[in-house]
């Protein structure tokens, strides 16, 4: 089954078995419903305080992606975060989206809230103590007063007792954090006879249960012979408790799966019943049962892995990823040391489009959020690596997700260094058990970020060197005059034309975009311009602006010369790159009637400003034009019979007819005329197949005033006459 949508899951970390259970439940249900599960994690569940710094802020920046990425729904594990500041930030992010969002264990404006089932399981384990073991005097070790989770568990305990006719008084309930101080005090009070010894203590948390058992045992109270004890949650410590702890397991798997079902209902209007996971009692000997539930081997292996140090891998990846000369070499280095991760199907390293920072001001770099475009540095696969070194929309999350694929579990983490946001890492797993966001993972991520930082530094050094080279008069590679070389020669050239009794004009040329299919056009245009301007003074006065001094008796002649020059540049680019989309060229023409250096400098400066204004307007308009041209095409296809006056259409859009035709061909690969004909013929094929209309009527319905013209065009496109087509398809 191919994935039909994407669900985002926001969690602070994937560290404990309960974290794995939660993600496993969510992924299993998402996969069954046909969704990719995109997990956004900061790796470290920050508690703030003195340890909070720019590094942790960089980790937590990953959560800003939830309002950029195109998701069908979001699950926000609000209750799992420790710090209110982080909770408030993420709450703000999700409230800015129009995406359905389910908040777990908290409330956020414009979202729905959902709580785990704490009541039913507590009721079940309490009834086990009353019904199976005959306990009549019970205490409850509850959590924090007025904490929703604690109150729900306590309510389950009280209702179970009430249904058995057992009265629970306030003195039978002991409140405290889900930690060790309260159970230690309770155990000492029971052992010391300061409070009445109960038949059983039902704990709302495994940590408290294990601590209580240890305290009772150390002080001469036998468990379960003297006091029976149960826990709740299926925490790690419960697996190593002596005697083995009776507790509740499956809460987090069930919660994750039910959250996905609930979110699917918000997305589709119908919420399916969750049938994959359920909470259950894991029987141990702490309650007095002779039976013990066999522990899931996968869970036990996971716990052992978390408690043991991973085997040292002899790879100096910090050094290995530094000192690269370009993005391709860096990608290769990262690929070479990607072997430290087992069980990863995909590893994508995605850089922000502005990862290089501001070369003119190295202190100006991205410290927050992500841009609208990312750059695929590496797309590592378990077999052959996918294509890399191209830009993609950040909203797509990963390019692989835009193609047909089975539902995947993808974990996103931040890529950052020294306060700069470089991008994000994406790892796709076949199973949650392979996720390992430990110190090795963090060190590897830091090595990648340092590699990017090292390359950024090298690029800046090259840029600084190029800036120094601008003090010379020509480009050291192509020999083209730079701004300085051009400006030095302008007075001499103007005087020459003045002696020939012709006027001098300054022609400025620029273009956008500066790259086509990742090809930098500057070197090619340098070469073409040199061949075209052998007898003219020209130079590249900035990265993408060319200046030419042209002679002419009148400005109209300069305009024609300018258009011919652009046409020649376009022809030269086609010769080099074939039939690819060419950049748009923008020009500015100014008469030059002075040879005084400061006046020429001012004239060039003002002309460049005017050119850049034109370029910015053209780029903005191009974006506006694109949407209007898309609407035009939709209209052409939906109403093929309608007559179109392209002069009128182009005027409505605000561009010339030739410009409209050029943009249309660039966007769709066909001309306006071809699209109209194709839409009309397609409409005719439908009418020929599904109606008994006469050929003349069909021709009229499709916008043809002349039946013969229709018949001729239909045969050209379909290879048969309309009558033959009807016979074959009716």
For residue 106, the domain's CATH number is 3.40.50.2300
| Lowest-confidence segment of 32-41, 103-112, 295-304, 314-323 by average pLDDT | 295-304
| Sign of the Cα pseudo-torsion (230, 231, 234, 238, in order) | negative
Coil, strand, or helix at residue 172? Answer: helix
d(CA 59, CA 285): 43
Classify residue 96 by its DSSP letter: T
- For residues 161-186, one letter each, b for 16 or more C-beta atoms within 10 angstroms of the residue's C-beta and e for the rest, the string is beeeebebeeebebbbebebebbbeb
* Structure tokens given for 81: 């975060």
Q: Is the pLDDT of residue 506 over 80?
A: yes
* CA-only gyration radius of the chain, Å: 36
- Residue carrying structure tokens 């470089």: 422
| Lowest-confidence segment of 443-447, 582-586, 608-612 by average pLDDT | 582-586
Which helix (H) or strand (E) covers residue 36, if one does? Answer: strand 35-41
For residues 456 and 520, state if they share a domain. Answer: no
| Lowest-confidence segment of 531-540, 572-581, 585-594, 614-623 by average pLDDT | 614-623
Report if residue 628 sits inside a domain. Answer: no
For residues 152 and 101, state if they share a domain. Answer: no
Q: What are the tens digits of pLDDT across the range 128-183?
A: 999 999 999 999 998 878 777 888 999 999 999 999 999 999 999 998 765 668 89
Cα-based distances in Å from 675 to 11, 433, 671, 686, 701 = 48, 52, 6, 17, 17
How far is residue 71 CA from its own chain's centroid? 9
Assess contact for 424 and 398: CB atoms under 8 A: no
Report if residue 299 sits inside a domain. Answer: no
For residues 567 and 649, state if they share a domain. Answer: no
CB neighbour class for 473 (10 Å; exposed up to 12, middle 13-18, buried from 19): middle
Q: Is the pLDDT of residue 311 over 50?
A: no
Which of 203, 223, 246 terminates a domain? The answer is 246
d(CA 680, CA 701): 9
Which of 431, 465, 499 terminates a domain? The answer is 465
CB neighbour class for 83 (10 Å; exposed up to 12, middle 13-18, buried from 19): middle
Which helix (H) or strand (E) covers residue 726, if one does? Answer: helix 722-729
Which helix (H) or strand (E) covers residue 248, if one does? Answer: strand 247-249
Q: Percent of the chain scored above 70 by pLDDT?
A: 92
Assess contact for 111 and 95: CB atoms under 8 A: yes
Report if residue 471 sits inside a domain. Answer: no
Report if residue 476 sits inside a domain. Answer: no
Q: Are strands 420-429 and 409-417 parallel, antiparallel or unpaired?
A: antiparallel
Q: Is the pLDDT of residue 296 over 70?
A: no
What is the extent of the structural domain holding 368? 317-465
| 50: confidence class by pLDDT, cuts 50, 70, 90 | very low
Task: Measure the CA angle with vertex 480, ends 477 and 485; round to 5°.
Answer: 120
For residues 661 and 729, state if they share a domain. Answer: yes
Which helix (H) or strand (E) covers residue 139, if one does? Answer: strand 138-141
Instruction: Indicate which CATH number applies to the domain containing 702.
Output: 1.10.10.60
Per-residue pLDDT at 309: 47
* Structure tokens given for 717: 């496109």
Coil, strand, or helix at residue 141? Answer: strand
Q: Is the pLDDT of residue 8 over 50?
A: yes
d(CA 94, CA 105): 15
Per-residue pLDDT at 623: 54
| Sign of the Cα pseudo-torsion (93, 421, 424, 357, in order) | positive
Return all residues near 455 (Cβ < 8 A) that are at least 6 apart: 324, 325, 326, 327, 330
d(CA 119, CA 75): 22
Which of 465, 499, 518 terminates a domain? The answer is 465
Classify residue 630 by its DSSP letter: H
Which helix (H) or strand (E) covers residue 174, if one does? Answer: strand 173-174
For residues 351 and 438, state if they share a domain. Answer: yes
Per-residue pLDDT at 312: 44
For residues 236 and 261, state if they share a domain. Answer: no
Coil, strand, or helix at residue 381? Answer: strand
Bridge partners (DSSP) listed for residue 410:
38, 428
Per-residue pLDDT at 561: 81
For residues 162 and 206, state if they share a domain. Answer: yes
| 291: confidence class by pLDDT, cuts 50, 70, 90 | confident
Q: What are the tens digits of pLDDT across the range 483-501?
A: 889 999 999 999 999 988 8
DSSP notation for 429-458: ESSGGG---SHHHHHHHHHHHHHHHHHHHH
d(CA 530, CA 368): 43
Task: Measure the CA angle with vertex 418, ends 413 and 423; round to 5°.
Answer: 35
Instruction: Indicate which CATH number applies to the domain containing 452.
Output: 3.30.450.40
For residues 453 and 502, state if they share a domain. Answer: no
For residues 666 and 611, state if they share a domain. Answer: no
Report if residue 472 sits inside a domain. Answer: no
How many domains, the chain? 5
| 241: confidence class by pLDDT, cuts 50, 70, 90 | confident
* Structure tokens given for 371: 């841009």
- For residues 337-369, one letter each, b for 16 or more C-beta atoms within 10 angstroms of the residue's C-beta and e for the rest, the string is bbeebeebbbbbbbbbbbbbbeeeeeeebbeee
Q: Is the pLDDT of residue 450 over 70?
A: yes
* Structure tokens given for 581: 């989309």
Q: Is the pLDDT of residue 587 over 90?
A: no
> 4 or 320: which carries more pLDDT confidence?
4
| 724: confidence class by pLDDT, cuts 50, 70, 90 | very high
For residues 501 and 456, state if they share a domain. Answer: no
Per-residue pLDDT at 147: 76
Report if residue 301 sits inside a domain. Answer: no
Residue 352 — φ and ψ, nearest 5°?
Answer: -65, 145
Per-residue pLDDT at 233: 84
For residues 654 and 579, state if they share a domain. Answer: no
Assess contact for 137 and 168: CB atoms under 8 A: no
**Over residues 343-359, mean pLDDT:** 93
Length of the chain in residues, anyone?
Answer: 730
* Structure tokens given for 467: 């800036």
Rounded to 10°, the helix 722-729/672-690 angle is: 50
d(CA 412, CA 327): 21
For residues 94 and 123, state if they share a domain. Answer: no
**Over residues 60-69, mean pLDDT:** 95
- For residues 664-677, one letter each, b for 16 or more C-beta atoms within 10 angstroms of the residue's C-beta and e for the rest, the string is beeeeeeebeebbb
Residue 294 — φ and ψ, nearest 5°?
Answer: -65, 135
How far is residue 137 CA from its own chain's centroid? 55
Average pLDDT of the chain, as a whole number: 87
Assess contact for 392 and 403: CB atoms under 8 A: no
- Residue carrying structure tokens 């087992």: 342
**Over residues 555-568, mean pLDDT:** 77
Report if residue 504 sits inside a domain. Answer: yes
pTM (predicted TM-score): 0.65
| Lowest-confidence segment of 150-164, 209-223, 325-339 by average pLDDT | 325-339
Report if residue 369 sits inside a domain. Answer: yes
Assess contact for 490 and 549: CB atoms under 8 A: yes
- Selection from 478, 467, 555, 484 nearest residue 521 by Cα: 478
Per-residue pLDDT at 639: 80
- Selection from 209, 302, 255 nearest residue 15 by Cα: 302
- Secondary structure (H, E, C), 55-73: HHHHHHHHHHHHHCCCCCE
| 313: confidence class by pLDDT, cuts 50, 70, 90 | very low
CB neighbour class for 479 (10 Å; exposed up to 12, middle 13-18, buried from 19): exposed
CB neighbour class for 542 (10 Å; exposed up to 12, middle 13-18, buried from 19): middle
Per-residue pLDDT at 316: 62
Which ranges of 70-147 does DSSP label H, i.e. alpha helix? 84-95, 119-127
Largest CA distance in the chain: 118
Per-residue pLDDT at 237: 61
| 253: confidence class by pLDDT, cuts 50, 70, 90 | very high
Classify residue 217 by its DSSP letter: H
Instruction: Indicate which CATH number applies to the domain containing 494.
Output: 3.30.70.270
């Amino acid at each position: 089954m191919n994935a039909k949508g994407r669900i985002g899951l926001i969690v602070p970390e994937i560290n404990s078995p309960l974290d794995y259970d939660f993600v496993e439940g969510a992924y299993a249900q998402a996969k069954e419903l046909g969704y990719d599960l995109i997990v956004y994690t900061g790796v470290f569940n920050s508690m703030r305080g003195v340890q909070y710094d720019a590094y942790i802020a960089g980790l937590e920046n990953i959560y800003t992606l939830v309002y950029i990425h195109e998701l069908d729904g979001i699950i926000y594990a609000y209750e799992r975060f420790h710090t209110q500041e982080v909770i408030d930030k993420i709450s703000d992010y999700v409230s800015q989206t129009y995406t359905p969002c389910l908040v777990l264990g908290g409330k956020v404006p414009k979202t729905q809230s959902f709580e785990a089932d704490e009541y039913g399981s507590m009721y079940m384990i309490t009834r086990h103590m009353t019904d199976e073991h005959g306990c009549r005097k019970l205490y409850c070790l509850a959590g924090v007063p007025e904490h929703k989770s604690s109150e729900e568990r306590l309510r389950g305990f009280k209702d179970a007792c009430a249904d058995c006719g057992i009265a629970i008084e306030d003195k039978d309930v002991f409140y405290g954090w889900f930690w060790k101080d309260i159970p230690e005090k309770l155990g000492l009070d029971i052992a010391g006879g300061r409070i009445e010894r109960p038949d059983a203590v039902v704990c709302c948390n495994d940590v408290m249960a294990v601590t209580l058992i240890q305290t009772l045992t150390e002080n001469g109270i036998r468990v379960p012979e003297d006091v029976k004890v149960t826990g709740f949650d299926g925490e790690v410590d419960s697996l190593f408790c002596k005697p083995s702890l009776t507790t509740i397991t499956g809460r987090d798997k069930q919660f994750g799966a039910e959250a996905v079902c609930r979110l699917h209902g918000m997305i589709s209007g119908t919420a399916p019943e969750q049938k994959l996971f359920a909470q259950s009692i894991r029987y141990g000997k702490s309650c007095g049962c002779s039976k013990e539930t066999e522990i899931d081997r996968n869970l036990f292996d996971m716990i052992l892995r978390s408690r043991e140090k991973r085997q040292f891998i002899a790879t100096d990846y910090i050094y290995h990823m530094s000192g690269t000369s370009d993005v391709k070499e860096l990608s290769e280095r990262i690929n070479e040391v990607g072997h430290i991760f087992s069980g990863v199907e995909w590893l994508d390293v995605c850089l922000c489009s502005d990862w290089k920072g501001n070369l003119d001001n190295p202190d100006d770099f991205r410290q927050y959020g992500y841009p609208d475009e990312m750059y695929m540095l590496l797309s590592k696969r378990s077999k052959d690596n996918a294509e890399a070194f191209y830009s993609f929309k950040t909203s797509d999350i990963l390019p692989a997700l835009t193609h047909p694929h089975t539902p995947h579990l993808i974990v996103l983490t931040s890529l950052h260094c020294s306060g700069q946001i470089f991008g994000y890492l994406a790892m796709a797993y076949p199973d949650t058990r392979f996720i390992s966001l430990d110190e090795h993972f963090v060190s590897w991520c830091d090595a990648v970020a340092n590699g990017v930082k090292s390359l950024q530094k090298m690029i800046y050094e090259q840029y600084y060197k190029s800036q120094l080279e601008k003090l010379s008069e020509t480009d050291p590679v192509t020999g083209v005059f730079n701004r300085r070389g051009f400006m030095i020669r302008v007075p001499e050239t103007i005087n020459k034309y003045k002696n020939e009794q012709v006027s001098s004009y300054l022609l400025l040329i620029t273009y956008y975009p500066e790259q086509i299919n990742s090809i930098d056009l500057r070197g090619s245009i340098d070469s073409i311009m040199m061949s075209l301007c052998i007898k003219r003074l020209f130079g590249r006065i900035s990265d993408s602006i060319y200046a030419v001094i042209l002679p002419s008796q009148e400005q109209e002649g300069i305009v024609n010369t300018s258009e011919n020059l652009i046409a020649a540049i376009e022809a030269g680019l086609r010769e080099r790159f074939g039939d690819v989309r060419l950049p748009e060229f923008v020009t500015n023409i100014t008469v030059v009637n002075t040879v005084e250096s400061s006046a020429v400098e001012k004239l060039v400066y003002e002309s460049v400003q005017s050119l850049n204004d034109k370029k910015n307007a053209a780029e903005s308009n191009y974006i506006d034009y694109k949407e209007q041209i898309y609407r035009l095409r939709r209209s052409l296809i939906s109403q093929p019979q309608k007559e179109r006056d392209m002069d009128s259409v182009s005027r409505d859009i605000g561009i010339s007819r030739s410009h409209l035709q050029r943009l249309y061909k660039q966007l769709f690969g066909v001309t306006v005329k071809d699209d109209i004909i194709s839409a009309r013929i397609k409409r005719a094929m439908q009418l020929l197949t599904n109606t008994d209309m006469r050929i003349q009527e069909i021709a009229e319905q499709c916008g043809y005033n002349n039946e013969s013209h229709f018949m001729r065009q239909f045969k050209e496109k379909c290879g048969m006459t309309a009558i033959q087509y009807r016979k074959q398809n009716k």
